[in-house]
Amino acid sequence: MKITKNKSLQELNTFGVDLYTDQYIEIDTIEELTEIYNQKVFNKKFLILGGGSNTLFVNNFQGTVIHPNILGREILNEDTKTVTIKVGAGENWEEIVLWTVEQNYLGLQNLTNIPGDCGASPIQNIGAYGVEIKDFLLSVEYFDIQTGIIKNISNKNCNFAYRDSIFKHELKNRALITSITFKLKKWEDDLAIPKEFLKYKGITDILEKKYEKPYTIKMVFDAVNDIRNDKLPRVGEYGSCGSTFANPLISKDKYQELLKEYPDLPSYDTNMKNIVKIPAAYILDKLGWKNRKVGKCGTWVRHPLIVTNYENASGKEIYDLICTIQKDFLDNTGITLNTEINIIF
Protein backbone atom coordinates (compact mmCIF):
# COMPACT_ATOMS: atom_id res chain seq x y z
CA MET A 1 0.00 0.00 0.00
CA LYS A 2 1.25 3.48 -0.87
CA ILE A 3 -0.22 6.58 0.77
CA THR A 4 0.60 10.09 -0.49
CA LYS A 5 -0.65 13.38 0.88
CA ASN A 6 -1.44 16.36 -1.38
CA LYS A 7 -0.89 14.25 -4.49
CA SER A 8 -0.79 15.76 -7.99
CA LEU A 9 -3.29 14.12 -10.32
CA GLN A 10 -1.79 15.40 -13.57
CA GLU A 11 -0.12 12.09 -14.45
CA LEU A 12 -3.13 10.11 -13.25
CA ASN A 13 -5.77 11.44 -15.68
CA THR A 14 -5.46 11.33 -19.46
CA PHE A 15 -6.88 14.84 -19.82
CA GLY A 16 -3.66 15.90 -18.09
CA VAL A 17 -5.47 18.33 -15.81
CA ASP A 18 -3.09 19.67 -13.16
CA LEU A 19 -5.04 19.35 -9.92
CA TYR A 20 -4.47 17.77 -6.50
CA THR A 21 -6.14 15.39 -4.10
CA ASP A 22 -5.81 15.60 -0.32
CA GLN A 23 -4.79 11.94 -0.11
CA TYR A 24 -3.92 9.22 -2.63
CA ILE A 25 -3.89 5.53 -1.72
CA GLU A 26 -2.64 2.82 -4.07
CA ILE A 27 -3.99 -0.62 -3.18
CA ASP A 28 -2.18 -3.80 -4.27
CA THR A 29 -4.19 -6.50 -2.49
CA ILE A 30 -7.65 -7.26 -1.14
CA GLU A 31 -6.11 -7.42 2.34
CA GLU A 32 -5.08 -3.78 1.97
CA LEU A 33 -8.64 -2.91 0.96
CA THR A 34 -9.84 -4.52 4.17
CA GLU A 35 -7.26 -2.51 6.09
CA ILE A 36 -8.42 0.88 4.80
CA TYR A 37 -12.03 -0.25 5.30
CA ASN A 38 -11.26 -0.92 8.96
CA GLN A 39 -9.56 2.48 9.16
CA LYS A 40 -12.88 4.08 8.08
CA VAL A 41 -11.37 5.62 4.93
CA PHE A 42 -14.60 4.93 3.06
CA ASN A 43 -16.62 6.83 5.68
CA LYS A 44 -15.26 10.11 4.31
CA LYS A 45 -15.21 11.57 0.80
CA PHE A 46 -13.43 9.22 -1.61
CA LEU A 47 -13.04 8.47 -5.31
CA ILE A 48 -12.04 5.20 -6.97
CA LEU A 49 -9.68 5.97 -9.85
CA GLY A 50 -8.41 3.41 -12.32
CA GLY A 51 -6.36 4.47 -15.31
CA GLY A 52 -7.87 7.96 -15.32
CA SER A 53 -8.85 7.60 -18.99
CA ASN A 54 -12.52 8.37 -18.41
CA THR A 55 -12.35 11.11 -15.77
CA LEU A 56 -12.37 14.90 -15.85
CA PHE A 57 -11.38 16.68 -12.64
CA VAL A 58 -12.92 20.16 -12.56
CA ASN A 59 -11.50 21.14 -9.15
CA ASN A 60 -8.99 19.83 -6.62
CA PHE A 61 -10.41 16.69 -5.00
CA GLN A 62 -10.94 17.32 -1.31
CA GLY A 63 -10.89 13.74 -0.16
CA THR A 64 -9.09 10.44 -0.80
CA VAL A 65 -8.42 9.02 -4.25
CA ILE A 66 -8.11 5.23 -4.15
CA HIS A 67 -6.33 3.46 -6.99
CA PRO A 68 -6.83 -0.33 -7.20
CA ASN A 69 -3.57 -1.79 -8.49
CA ILE A 70 -4.58 -5.43 -8.06
CA LEU A 71 -2.74 -7.38 -10.76
CA GLY A 72 -2.76 -10.90 -12.17
CA ARG A 73 -4.22 -13.01 -14.94
CA GLU A 74 -5.33 -16.60 -14.45
CA ILE A 75 -6.88 -19.22 -16.70
CA LEU A 76 -9.67 -20.68 -14.59
CA ASN A 77 -10.91 -23.25 -17.08
CA GLU A 78 -10.35 -24.31 -20.66
CA ASP A 79 -11.40 -27.00 -23.08
CA THR A 80 -10.82 -27.56 -26.77
CA LYS A 81 -13.09 -24.68 -27.77
CA THR A 82 -13.13 -22.05 -25.00
CA VAL A 83 -11.03 -20.47 -22.27
CA THR A 84 -12.17 -18.71 -19.08
CA ILE A 85 -9.82 -16.00 -17.80
CA LYS A 86 -9.75 -14.00 -14.55
CA VAL A 87 -7.92 -10.67 -14.68
CA GLY A 88 -7.04 -8.27 -11.86
CA ALA A 89 -8.65 -4.83 -11.89
CA GLY A 90 -5.31 -3.06 -12.10
CA GLU A 91 -4.17 -4.81 -15.28
CA ASN A 92 -3.84 -2.57 -18.33
CA TRP A 93 -6.74 -3.21 -20.72
CA GLU A 94 -4.71 -2.80 -23.92
CA GLU A 95 -2.08 -5.26 -22.71
CA ILE A 96 -4.74 -7.85 -21.88
CA VAL A 97 -6.37 -7.49 -25.30
CA LEU A 98 -2.99 -7.89 -27.01
CA TRP A 99 -2.28 -10.99 -24.92
CA THR A 100 -5.59 -12.61 -25.92
CA VAL A 101 -4.85 -11.89 -29.58
CA GLU A 102 -1.38 -13.43 -29.26
CA GLN A 103 -3.00 -16.56 -27.77
CA ASN A 104 -5.47 -16.60 -30.70
CA TYR A 105 -8.46 -16.19 -28.39
CA LEU A 106 -11.42 -14.74 -30.26
CA GLY A 107 -13.52 -11.90 -28.82
CA LEU A 108 -11.70 -8.84 -27.54
CA GLN A 109 -9.74 -7.90 -30.68
CA ASN A 110 -12.24 -5.18 -31.67
CA LEU A 111 -11.76 -3.54 -28.26
CA THR A 112 -8.07 -2.76 -28.73
CA ASN A 113 -6.57 0.69 -28.24
CA ILE A 114 -8.99 1.65 -25.46
CA PRO A 115 -6.88 3.16 -22.67
CA GLY A 116 -7.55 2.34 -19.04
CA ASP A 117 -7.49 -0.49 -16.51
CA CYS A 118 -9.49 -3.72 -16.70
CA GLY A 119 -11.52 -2.91 -13.60
CA ALA A 120 -13.17 0.01 -15.36
CA SER A 121 -14.30 -1.99 -18.40
CA PRO A 122 -17.62 -3.29 -17.00
CA ILE A 123 -18.55 0.06 -15.42
CA GLN A 124 -18.75 1.72 -18.82
CA ASN A 125 -19.58 -1.51 -20.66
CA ILE A 126 -16.82 -0.44 -23.02
CA GLY A 127 -17.53 -1.02 -26.67
CA ALA A 128 -16.20 -0.39 -30.16
CA TYR A 129 -16.87 -1.56 -33.70
CA GLY A 130 -19.86 -3.75 -32.90
CA VAL A 131 -18.43 -5.39 -29.75
CA GLU A 132 -19.03 -4.69 -26.05
CA ILE A 133 -17.37 -6.18 -22.98
CA LYS A 134 -20.74 -7.59 -21.90
CA ASP A 135 -20.58 -10.00 -24.85
CA PHE A 136 -17.78 -11.96 -23.15
CA LEU A 137 -17.91 -11.10 -19.46
CA LEU A 138 -19.01 -13.88 -17.11
CA SER A 139 -18.78 -12.11 -13.76
CA VAL A 140 -17.30 -9.23 -11.79
CA GLU A 141 -15.68 -9.55 -8.37
CA TYR A 142 -15.91 -6.48 -6.16
CA PHE A 143 -15.24 -5.23 -2.65
CA ASP A 144 -18.47 -4.04 -1.05
CA ILE A 145 -17.54 -0.70 0.46
CA GLN A 146 -20.55 -0.72 2.81
CA THR A 147 -19.89 -4.16 4.31
CA GLY A 148 -16.20 -4.85 3.67
CA ILE A 149 -17.10 -8.16 1.99
CA ILE A 150 -15.89 -9.50 -1.37
CA LYS A 151 -18.82 -10.29 -3.66
CA ASN A 152 -19.38 -11.63 -7.17
CA ILE A 153 -22.01 -10.43 -9.59
CA SER A 154 -22.97 -12.28 -12.76
CA ASN A 155 -23.20 -10.75 -16.23
CA LYS A 156 -26.98 -10.99 -16.11
CA ASN A 157 -27.18 -8.98 -12.88
CA CYS A 158 -24.84 -6.23 -14.11
CA ASN A 159 -27.76 -4.62 -16.00
CA PHE A 160 -25.57 -3.87 -18.99
CA ALA A 161 -26.78 -1.38 -21.58
CA TYR A 162 -25.14 1.03 -24.03
CA ARG A 163 -22.25 2.59 -22.06
CA ASP A 164 -24.08 1.69 -18.86
CA SER A 165 -24.20 -0.83 -16.03
CA ILE A 166 -25.30 -1.34 -12.44
CA PHE A 167 -21.96 0.13 -11.37
CA LYS A 168 -23.14 3.56 -12.50
CA HIS A 169 -26.37 3.29 -10.51
CA GLU A 170 -27.19 0.96 -7.61
CA LEU A 171 -23.54 0.06 -7.00
CA LYS A 172 -22.03 3.48 -7.65
CA ASN A 173 -19.63 4.36 -4.80
CA ARG A 174 -20.39 0.98 -3.26
CA ALA A 175 -18.49 -1.48 -5.46
CA LEU A 176 -14.72 -1.35 -5.84
CA ILE A 177 -14.01 -3.83 -8.63
CA THR A 178 -11.13 -6.20 -7.85
CA SER A 179 -11.23 -8.52 -10.89
CA ILE A 180 -13.24 -9.50 -13.95
CA THR A 181 -13.79 -12.94 -15.48
CA PHE A 182 -14.55 -13.46 -19.16
CA LYS A 183 -14.88 -16.35 -21.58
CA LEU A 184 -13.39 -16.39 -25.08
CA LYS A 185 -13.29 -18.85 -27.96
CA LYS A 186 -10.12 -20.58 -29.04
CA TRP A 187 -9.57 -19.96 -32.73
CA GLU A 188 -7.49 -21.26 -35.62
CA ASP A 189 -5.62 -19.02 -38.05
CA ASP A 190 -7.08 -20.74 -41.10
CA LEU A 191 -10.66 -20.15 -39.92
CA ALA A 192 -12.37 -16.98 -41.17
CA ILE A 193 -13.24 -14.60 -38.36
CA PRO A 194 -17.04 -14.50 -37.82
CA LYS A 195 -19.00 -11.76 -39.58
CA GLU A 196 -20.23 -10.36 -36.25
CA PHE A 197 -16.77 -8.82 -35.81
CA LEU A 198 -16.81 -7.27 -39.29
CA LYS A 199 -19.94 -5.13 -39.04
CA TYR A 200 -18.16 -1.80 -39.52
CA LYS A 201 -17.21 -0.78 -43.04
CA GLY A 202 -14.06 0.94 -41.80
CA ILE A 203 -12.69 -2.43 -40.68
CA THR A 204 -13.58 -4.28 -43.87
CA ASP A 205 -12.17 -1.47 -46.03
CA ILE A 206 -8.76 -1.85 -44.39
CA LEU A 207 -8.90 -5.65 -44.46
CA GLU A 208 -9.76 -5.73 -48.17
CA LYS A 209 -6.96 -3.28 -48.91
CA LYS A 210 -4.19 -4.92 -46.89
CA TYR A 211 -4.98 -8.63 -46.64
CA GLU A 212 -6.35 -11.67 -48.38
CA LYS A 213 -9.11 -13.83 -46.93
CA PRO A 214 -9.56 -15.58 -44.57
CA TYR A 215 -9.18 -12.65 -42.16
CA THR A 216 -7.59 -13.56 -38.84
CA ILE A 217 -7.97 -12.22 -35.32
CA LYS A 218 -4.62 -10.43 -35.64
CA MET A 219 -5.69 -8.79 -38.92
CA VAL A 220 -8.84 -7.39 -37.34
CA PHE A 221 -6.84 -6.28 -34.28
CA ASP A 222 -4.38 -4.43 -36.53
CA ALA A 223 -7.17 -2.88 -38.60
CA VAL A 224 -8.91 -1.50 -35.49
CA ASN A 225 -5.59 -0.12 -34.26
CA ASP A 226 -5.07 1.59 -37.62
CA ILE A 227 -8.51 3.20 -37.46
CA ARG A 228 -8.16 4.41 -33.89
CA ASN A 229 -4.62 5.69 -34.38
CA ASP A 230 -5.84 7.70 -37.36
CA LYS A 231 -8.91 9.12 -35.62
CA LEU A 232 -7.82 9.59 -32.01
CA PRO A 233 -5.15 11.65 -30.27
CA ARG A 234 -2.33 9.58 -28.83
CA VAL A 235 -2.46 9.25 -25.06
CA GLY A 236 0.28 11.38 -23.55
CA GLU A 237 0.67 13.60 -26.61
CA TYR A 238 -2.61 15.50 -26.18
CA GLY A 239 -4.96 15.36 -23.23
CA SER A 240 -8.26 13.62 -23.87
CA CYS A 241 -10.51 10.82 -22.67
CA GLY A 242 -11.33 9.53 -26.11
CA SER A 243 -15.00 9.98 -26.95
CA THR A 244 -16.42 12.56 -24.54
CA PHE A 245 -20.05 12.10 -25.55
CA ALA A 246 -22.33 9.08 -25.91
CA ASN A 247 -24.27 8.54 -29.10
CA PRO A 248 -27.95 9.41 -28.43
CA LEU A 249 -30.68 6.79 -28.34
CA ILE A 250 -33.84 8.27 -29.84
CA SER A 251 -37.26 7.20 -31.07
CA LYS A 252 -37.74 6.30 -34.70
CA ASP A 253 -40.19 9.20 -34.99
CA LYS A 254 -37.52 11.61 -33.75
CA TYR A 255 -35.08 10.12 -36.22
CA GLN A 256 -37.48 10.78 -39.10
CA GLU A 257 -37.78 14.35 -37.87
CA LEU A 258 -34.00 14.79 -37.86
CA LEU A 259 -33.75 13.51 -41.43
CA LYS A 260 -35.46 16.68 -42.62
CA GLU A 261 -32.47 18.71 -41.40
CA TYR A 262 -29.79 16.01 -41.78
CA PRO A 263 -30.94 13.82 -44.73
CA ASP A 264 -27.86 11.56 -44.69
CA LEU A 265 -27.87 10.96 -40.93
CA PRO A 266 -27.21 7.24 -40.28
CA SER A 267 -29.02 5.19 -37.67
CA TYR A 268 -28.21 1.90 -35.97
CA ASP A 269 -30.49 -0.76 -34.54
CA THR A 270 -30.51 -1.10 -30.74
CA ASN A 271 -32.65 -4.22 -30.28
CA MET A 272 -35.09 -1.95 -28.43
CA LYS A 273 -38.56 -1.39 -29.80
CA ASN A 274 -38.85 1.86 -31.78
CA ILE A 275 -35.40 3.04 -30.57
CA VAL A 276 -32.36 3.72 -32.76
CA LYS A 277 -28.88 5.02 -32.08
CA ILE A 278 -27.53 7.96 -34.05
CA PRO A 279 -23.89 9.11 -34.42
CA ALA A 280 -23.52 12.37 -32.53
CA ALA A 281 -20.31 13.03 -34.45
CA TYR A 282 -22.25 13.38 -37.71
CA ILE A 283 -24.38 16.21 -36.32
CA LEU A 284 -21.52 17.87 -34.44
CA ASP A 285 -19.49 17.86 -37.65
CA LYS A 286 -22.36 19.62 -39.44
CA LEU A 287 -22.48 22.16 -36.61
CA GLY A 288 -18.80 22.93 -37.10
CA TRP A 289 -17.39 21.21 -34.03
CA LYS A 290 -14.67 19.13 -35.66
CA ASN A 291 -11.16 20.60 -35.24
CA ARG A 292 -12.45 23.64 -33.37
CA LYS A 293 -10.42 25.34 -30.66
CA VAL A 294 -11.85 27.35 -27.79
CA GLY A 295 -9.06 28.88 -25.71
CA LYS A 296 -6.61 26.21 -24.58
CA CYS A 297 -8.86 23.29 -25.44
CA GLY A 298 -11.12 22.23 -28.29
CA THR A 299 -12.22 19.22 -30.30
CA TRP A 300 -9.87 16.83 -32.03
CA VAL A 301 -8.76 17.56 -35.59
CA ARG A 302 -10.40 14.38 -36.95
CA HIS A 303 -13.30 13.77 -34.58
CA PRO A 304 -15.82 16.18 -32.99
CA LEU A 305 -16.73 13.80 -30.13
CA ILE A 306 -13.25 14.05 -28.67
CA VAL A 307 -12.75 17.06 -26.43
CA THR A 308 -9.01 17.70 -26.30
CA ASN A 309 -6.67 19.53 -23.93
CA TYR A 310 -4.27 21.27 -26.31
CA GLU A 311 -2.42 23.75 -24.10
CA ASN A 312 -2.63 22.75 -20.42
CA ALA A 313 -6.24 23.86 -20.06
CA SER A 314 -7.82 23.74 -16.62
CA GLY A 315 -10.54 21.27 -15.73
CA LYS A 316 -12.99 24.18 -15.56
CA GLU A 317 -12.10 25.30 -19.09
CA ILE A 318 -12.63 21.80 -20.46
CA TYR A 319 -15.91 21.44 -18.56
CA ASP A 320 -17.17 24.79 -19.87
CA LEU A 321 -16.42 23.66 -23.44
CA ILE A 322 -18.32 20.42 -22.88
CA CYS A 323 -21.34 22.41 -21.67
CA THR A 324 -21.14 24.71 -24.70
CA ILE A 325 -21.13 21.75 -27.09
CA GLN A 326 -24.06 20.14 -25.27
CA LYS A 327 -26.09 23.35 -25.45
CA ASP A 328 -25.41 23.75 -29.17
CA PHE A 329 -26.45 20.15 -29.82
CA LEU A 330 -29.65 20.58 -27.79
CA ASP A 331 -30.53 23.89 -29.45
CA ASN A 332 -30.19 22.36 -32.93
CA THR A 333 -31.73 18.94 -32.37
CA GLY A 334 -33.84 19.05 -29.22
CA ILE A 335 -31.76 16.11 -27.95
CA THR A 336 -29.70 16.02 -24.76
CA LEU A 337 -26.12 15.00 -25.51
CA ASN A 338 -24.88 12.99 -22.52
CA THR A 339 -21.23 12.56 -21.60
CA GLU A 340 -19.52 9.19 -21.46
CA ILE A 341 -16.88 10.47 -19.08
CA ASN A 342 -17.01 10.79 -15.30
CA ILE A 343 -16.94 14.47 -14.32
CA ILE A 344 -15.61 15.11 -10.79
CA PHE A 345 -16.29 18.49 -9.14
pLDDT in tens, 280-292: 999 999 999 999 9
Give start-end residues of each CATH 3.30.43.10 domain in the chain: 2-68
pTM: 0.90
Q: Is the pLDDT of residue 264 over 80?
A: yes
Is 307 buried (19+), middle (13-18) or exposed (0-12) by CB count in 10 A? buried
If DSSP codes are grouped into helix, strand and coil, which group holds residue 311? coil
Told to judge if 243 belongs to the known catalytic residues of this protein, a careful annotator would answer yes
pLDDT digits (tens, 9 = 90+) for 157-168: 999 998 899 999
Q: Is the pLDDT of residue 188 over 90?
A: no
Helix ranges (DSSP H) in 68-162: 93-102, 121-124
pLDDT digits (tens, 9 = 90+) for 302-311: 999 999 999 9
Q: Is the pLDDT of residue 227 over 80?
A: yes
Give start-end residues of each CATH 3.30.465.10 domain in the chain: 73-186
**Domain 73-186 carries which CATH code?**
3.30.465.10
The third-level CATH classification (topology) of the domain covering 2-68 is 3.30.43
pLDDT at residue 315 in the model: 97
Told to judge if 302 belongs to the known catalytic residues of this protein, a careful annotator would answer no
Listing DSSP states for 158-176 in one string gives G--BTTB-GGGTTTTTTEE
Told to judge if 267 belongs to the known catalytic residues of this protein, a careful annotator would answer no
Q: Is the pLDDT of residue 189 over 80?
A: no
Mean pLDDT, the chain, whole residue set:
95
Give start-end residues of each CATH 3.90.78.10 domain in the chain: 239-344
Q: Which of 94, 243, 314, 317 does the annotation list as catalytic? A: 243
Q: Which of 91, 121, 139, 163 does the annotation list as catalytic? A: 163
**Domain 239-344 carries which CATH code?**
3.90.78.10
CA distances from 44 to 62, 65, 110 (A): 10, 11, 39
Q: Is the pLDDT of residue 48 over 80?
A: yes
Q: Stretch 238-243: mean pLDDT, rounded? A: 93
